[in-house]
Structure 1
């Protein structure tokens, strides 16, 4: 269930109340006349099944409440109510399959912002991965993958393509390109420093690396894994299953490939630099393709499912 708290201009309260009462899947409606001070108006609160949340939020926005009032949406982790159970049964589809596009756009917008913190995380992840590729240490590679924040901009770019939002697309693409460029430049300097103090060497980079040699040898398996990870990551975002993102992060070799390219560049090893760059671009492409297709499929399936009657409505028809 979702909990919505809406600030409504007093002259529109009756219209909003009728909208909520006429929407299948809404319950626990409460109206507090004159409770809002900034902006001034009435406060309308209610719970709604996740399945119909996106459509209802669109209706509230269409009535200008985002400009003249406020719309706050919260996920309800625990709700003990018979009426809430009935509301979820009345709503068509399953809550886990519903996509809240406004929530997804807001989350990816925040994650796609090019900030000092974002670049710091990406640079730190790339430097950790640099240590992993030089030492041929798979544990460091996995750790670097988990630290890297690059899936946020990738998800933002996919969302922007589906929603045809050029500003979000440009913001996400900028965060990806500038972020990786900055992280790789910092890692080149880090590699030069580590070589100066005797911790990195070209012999280690060119030596046998059975655990990490894959980061500069792209193949079709790299693309397949990136596609699968992109689909899984997108599903984890749209279904609020954030725990799956950790698995996605350690499934693709974006950060390790960028790290190996930076270290190889610091030693003038252009072959490895080229191979690692190809690995990086192949993974980014796979995630974008899979993420965009996943969102398009979800959008189409949910639109078709929302037109079907709910279980309770089908039961009433039979009765």
Structure 2
């Protein structure tokens, strides 16, 4: 269940309440007249099944509540209520399959912003991976993959394509390209420093690296893994199972490839540099493609579920009215 909190102008409260009452899957409706001070208005709260959220939010935005008031949605971790259970049962479709598009757009918007924190995490991850490729240390590579925040902008691009949302697409693309460019540039400087103090050497980079040599040798398996990871990552976002993102992060070689490209560029090894950049681009493409297709498939399947549920509901009402006739 999700908890919905609204601030509505007094002249629109009745419309909002009526909308909530006719939406299947809502319960625990409460109205607090005149409770809001900024902006001035009424406060309306209710609990809504996840599978009913997207339609209700769309109807509320059609009433322009987001412009003249406020719409806030948060997840309920525990709800002990027979009414809530009944609302979830009555709502069409399955909650696990529902995509709350407004929630997804908001989440990806935040994660795809080119902020200092985003650049810092990506840069630190790339430098950790640089140490991993020079030392041929798989543990450092896995750690760097887990730290890297690049899935946020990739998810933003996928969401922007499906919605569509040009501004989100542009914001995500800038965060992705500029973020990696800055991270690799700083890592080049970091590599020069590590070479100066004797911790990085060209011999280590050029030596046999059975644990990390894959980062500059893209192949079909790299693309396949990126596609699978992109699908899994997108599902984890839409189903609010964020724990799966860790597994996604450590299954693709975006950050290690960027790190290897930076270190190789430091020593003038253009073969490894080009191979690493190709690996990076191949993984980014695979994730973006799979994420977009996953969202499109979810949208199509969810639309079908809702149509079937609506037909069954209509048939049930029709059958009930027939039986009620004398």
What's the TM-score once normalised by structure 2's chain length? 0.96
1:310 to partner: Cα distance? 7.0
Distance 1:95 1:266 in 2: 51
1:181 to partner: Cα distance? 0.3
Aligned to 1:303: 303
1:315 to partner: Cα distance? 7.0
Q: Please, what is the CA RMSD of the aligned residues?
A: 1.4
1:93·1:310 contact (CA, 8 Å) conserved in 2? Answer: no
Aligned to 1:205: 205
1:8·1:68 contact (CA, 8 Å) conserved in 2? Answer: yes
Alignment deviations for residues 271-313 of structure 1 (CA, whole Å, 9 cap, x no partner): 0000000000000000000000000000111111111227994
Partner SS for 1:308 = helix
Aligned to 1:44: 44
1:90·1:312 contact (CA, 8 Å) conserved in 2? Answer: no
Distance 1:42 1:117 in 2: 37
Q: Is 1:145 paired with 2:184? A: no
Partner SS for 1:235 = helix
Aligned to 1:231: 231
1:91·1:310 contact (CA, 8 Å) conserved in 2? Answer: no
Distance 1:293 1:127 in 2: 32
Once structures 1 and 2 are overlaid, which stretch shifts more, 302-311 or 137-146?
Answer: 302-311
Distance 1:111 1:23 in 2: 31
Partner SS for 1:42 = strand
Aligned to 2:95: 95
Aligned to 1:252: 252
Distance 1:124 1:48 in 2: 41
Partner SS for 1:307 = helix
Runs of 4+ in 1 over 3 A off after TM superposition: 310-319
Distance 1:19 1:181 in 2: 48
Q: After superposition, where does 1:238-317 map in structure 2 within 5 Å?
A: 238-309=238-309, 313=313, 317=319
Structure 2 spans left out of the alignment, 5+ residues: none
Aligned to 1:33: 33
Aligned to 1:216: 216
1:15 to partner: Cα distance? 1.1
Alignment deviations for residues 100-134 of structure 1 (CA, whole Å, 9 cap, x no partner): 11111111000101011111110100000000000
Alignment deviations for residues 231-283 of structure 1 (CA, whole Å, 9 cap, x no partner): 00000000000000000000000000000000000000000000000000000
Aligned to 1:128: 128
Alignment deviations for residues 37-71 of structure 1 (CA, whole Å, 9 cap, x no partner): 11111111101110010010000000010000100
Partner SS for 2:209 = coil
1:92·1:311 contact (CA, 8 Å) conserved in 2? Answer: no
Distance 1:308 1:45 in 2: 29
1:133·1:205 contact (CA, 8 Å) conserved in 2? Answer: yes
- The number of residue pairs the alignment matches comes to 319
1:89·1:311 contact (CA, 8 Å) conserved in 2? Answer: no
Partner SS for 2:184 = helix
Structure 1 spans left out of the alignment, 5+ residues: none
Distance 1:133 1:32 in 2: 60
Aligned to 2:67: 67
1:13 to partner: Cα distance? 1.1
Aligned to 2:12: 12
Alignment deviations for residues 61-99 of structure 1 (CA, whole Å, 9 cap, x no partner): 000100001001010010000011111110111111100
Distance 2:126 2:11 in 1: 55
